[in-house]
Amino acid sequence: MSEKFYITTPIYYPSDKLHIGHTYCTVATDVMARYKRLRGCDVMFLTGTDEHGQKIEDKAKEAGVSPKEFVDNIVEGPRGVKDLWKLMNISNDRFIRTTDDYHVSAIQKIFRKMYENGDIYKGVYKGKYCKPCESFWTESQLVDGKCPDCGREVQDAEEEAYFFRLSKYAGRIQDLLENTDFLEPRSRVHEMVNNFIKPGLEDLCVSRTSFTWGIPVDFDPGHVVYVWVDALSNYITALGFDNDRYDDFEKYWPADVHFVGKEIVRFHSIIWPAMLMSLGLPLPKKVFGHGWLLLDGGKMSKSKGNVVDPYILAEMFGVDALRFFLLRTFPFGSDGNFSNELLIQTINTDLANDLGNLLSRTTAMTEKYFGGRLPDGCRSCAAPESFDAELTGVVSALPERYASAMESYAMHKALDEVFKVIQRANKYIDENAPWALAKDMEANGARLAHVLYNLLETARICGVLLSPFMPESCGKLFDQIGAGDSLRTWDSAVFGSMPEGLKVSKGENLFPRIDMEKGLAELEAAEAAAKKAALPDVEFEPQLTENVDFDTFCKSDFRVVKVKDCQPVKKSNKLLRFTLDDGTGTDRQILSGIAMWYKPEELIGKTLVAIVNLPARKMMGLESNGMLLSAIHTEKGEEKLNLIMLSDSIPAGAKLC
């Protein structure tokens, strides 16, 4: 039976659309899952969304929809989470939403188990809470009084709550971190031990009563389960733990690796193992904390407004080029500075130049000199050159070097190995000068065929190793070389496995070169258009360019007025008749065409602004002495009007200037 491999991404928090930072982790997980499948493993790749918590409740309220409607739109809606993973060719086997019924009831059982075994108890929570991170902190954990994870303001929190006995597991967790390779990269171990365990691991508050958007504690329904207990457990509920929806918990648990961003390593390497210990379950084999993609030196995040939209990049440069760039450029455990220039440069250097040239030159020459089919005997050569052995040597050593990097989650190193070989192969073209050999086919035809065989074989083996990174493009590469399914497997990545006489056909250029200046300008335009499209559909009157001189402006007399009475005007469906206190002691009558937007009775008593020195005007036989000021704009094609209303504490007659 094949070896199993269970790999997960964090489940994303759908409070906003996902950005390139989220895409980075999911693509990395996908590459690893595809690599393991290539190696013959029985892979379970899980991703999903973490949909509870106060932030979602607040955001939904702001948007005027229910929390479930809010998350449904971001997860399932157009250009939402699921659409993005489809676009990015993510091969997850399962997708969990923490609002799924089976997960909800499993969490209630998990919570109850930890309560019944004495690891959860009731107390009073006093401390600080960071709403965006959904994290509780003690005073001593704050950095400059702010959340140590995100640097934002924290709030005082005091409420009756359930606590999890995290302190009980401190020793075992410290041992796990320090004496095993559970957590990688190693630098993160010191951070966890020194910052969280050594200062004293406190019990964790695991329920909330101040909001309702969460999974209710079934034996105390005023409480909802803390969102991290709910979220972390997804890794087991999605396999069927404590539910009947799935039944492969025994098969896949423990996870082989959880890929997570560095700011959530604490949850995965301290809280999660402690929960599993409490439940008596085996621990995941590894947690790998990757770095952040930074923009201008800071973490990309929606709340900072500095996010890069993966849709735009993928649509403009291609999904595979984007997938490749993310893993080629940024070492997986470290932070990396994202930039559009770097993206274009990487596509041009590695894909258009190195890989693209190798493939297009080799297939073009096979077509030109041999009509697309190399002759029999091309696999061997009567008079080999020293550079033949050099090339076949590096290609033969490549799969092992690549695998050793992949097995330690150093995807960038694996790519580095492949590209060193691609560069060597391009040099081999120059060393052999096939165009010179082709001048005398009778004398050199066999040698030329051997050179091209070596090059096609190199391209094919590199294609096998690049296929987890760029599945679609490598499929096209194999098609051009004429390599069928059996020549796309890991076992076929042995130099010389390719039979002679395959039909080679130079196809489309897989990675066209991008003009840097043009590419950047197009990206900027696409980003600006996307930003504009994301704005509410609002239009305003254009601003006037003609100046009005100051003295003329000062002649306009704007006053605060109070509405004493407001009535509809007979036979008019536009006009309202206002009786106003303008501070002079004499009532002022103004007619205003705002009946479409306001009911007369709702305006009585309001404090408004009027210009009072316009000449009197007659409308529907009634005199109007002035005009009320309003703000007007168009939203989704509909005109909107808002009367300017002031604080009722301002007296009638006050002048505006």
Binding site for ligand ME8 (CB under 6 A): 10-13, 21-22, 24-25, 50, 231-232, 234, 260-261, 263-264, 292-293, 299-300
Closer residue to ligand ME8 in complex, CB, 24/317:
24
Nearer to ligand ME8, 27 or 502 (CB): 27
Continuous H helices in 490-583: 516-534, 550-554
What interhelical angle do 319-329 and 310-317 show, nearest 10?
Answer: 110
CB-wise, 12 or 125, nearer to ligand ME8? 12
**Whole-number minimum distance, CB 462 to ligand ME8, in Å?**
28
Q: Which is nearer to ligand ME8, 18 or 566 (CB)?
A: 18
Please tell me the distance from the alpha carbon of residue 34 to that of residue 46, in angstroms, as a whole number: 13
Whole-number Å distance between alpha carbons of 115 and 123:
13
Closer residue to ligand ME8 in complex, CB, 141/234: 234
Least separation, in Å, of the C-beta of 352 and ligand ME8? 26
Beta carbon of residue 356, minimum distance to ligand ME8 (angstroms, whole number): 28
Q: Which residues are registered as beta bridge partners of 261? A: 290
Q: How far is the CB of 580 from ligand ME8 (least distance, A)?
A: 53
Q: Least distance from C-beta 304 to ligand ME8, angstroms? A: 10
Cis peptide before 399 (omega within 30 of 0): no
Q: Smaller CB distance to ligand ME8: residue 25 or 313?
A: 25
- Of 47 and 363, the one with the shorter C-beta distance to ligand ME8 is 47
> Smaller CB distance to ligand ME8: residue 44 or 481?
44
Residue nearest to ligand ME8 (CB): 261
Residue (of 376, 470, 594, 403) closest to 89 by Cα position:
470
Handedness of CA 324, 325, 331, 336 (dihedral sign): negative
Smaller CB separation from ligand ME8, 234 or 624 = 234
Please, what is the minimum distance in Å from the beta carbon of residue 338 to ligand ME8? 8
How far is residue 207's CA from residue 218's CA, in Å, rounded to a whole number?
12
What is the C-alpha to C-alpha distance for residues 604 and 566, in angstroms, rounded to an integer?
6
- Give the bridge partners for 195, in sequence order: none
Residue 179 buriedness (CB in 10 A; 0-12 / 13-18 / 19+): exposed
Q: Which is nearer to ligand ME8, 294 or 654 (CB)?
A: 294
Inter-residue contact 69 to 60 (CB < 8 Å): yes
Ranges assigned E (strand) in 98-181: 120-130, 135-137, 155-164
DSSP string, 218-249: TTSTT-EE-HHHHHHTHHHHTTTTTSSS---H
Shortest distance, CB of residue 467 to ligand ME8, whole angstroms?
A: 24
End-to-end CA distance of the chain: 84
The distance of closest approach from Cβ of residue 169 to ligand ME8 in the complex, given in angstroms and rounded to an integer, is 18
Q: How far is the CB of 66 from ligand ME8 (least distance, A)?
A: 20
Q: Given the complex with ligand ME8, which of 289 and 463 has the nearer CB atom?
A: 289
What strands lie across the sheet with 293-295, from one edge to the other?
A: 298-299, 293-295, 336-337
The answer to whether 167 and 277 have CB atoms below 8 angstroms apart is: no
Smallest separation (angstroms) from ligand ME8 to the CB of 261: 2
Produce one character per residue of 465-496: b if its CB has 16 or more CB atoms within 10 Å, e if not: bbbbbbbebbebbbebbbbeeebbebebbebe
Is 201 or 231 the residue whose CB approaches ligand ME8 more closely?
Answer: 231
Q: Minimum Å distance from CB 187 to ligand ME8?
A: 16
**What residues form DSSP beta bridges with 607?**
562
CB closer to ligand ME8, 300 vs 575: 300
Q: In angstroms, what is the minimal distance from the CB of 264 to ligand ME8?
A: 5
State in angstroms the smallest separation of the CB of 530 from ligand ME8: 18
User: Are the CB atoms for 333 and 288 separated by under 8 Å?
Assistant: yes
Residues 417-426 as b or e (16 or more Cβ within 10 Å = b): bbbebbbbbb
- With helix as H, strand as E and coil as C, how does 247-280 read? CCHHHHCCCCEEEEEHHHHHHHHHHHHHHHHHHC
Residue 418, both tokens: 């492949």
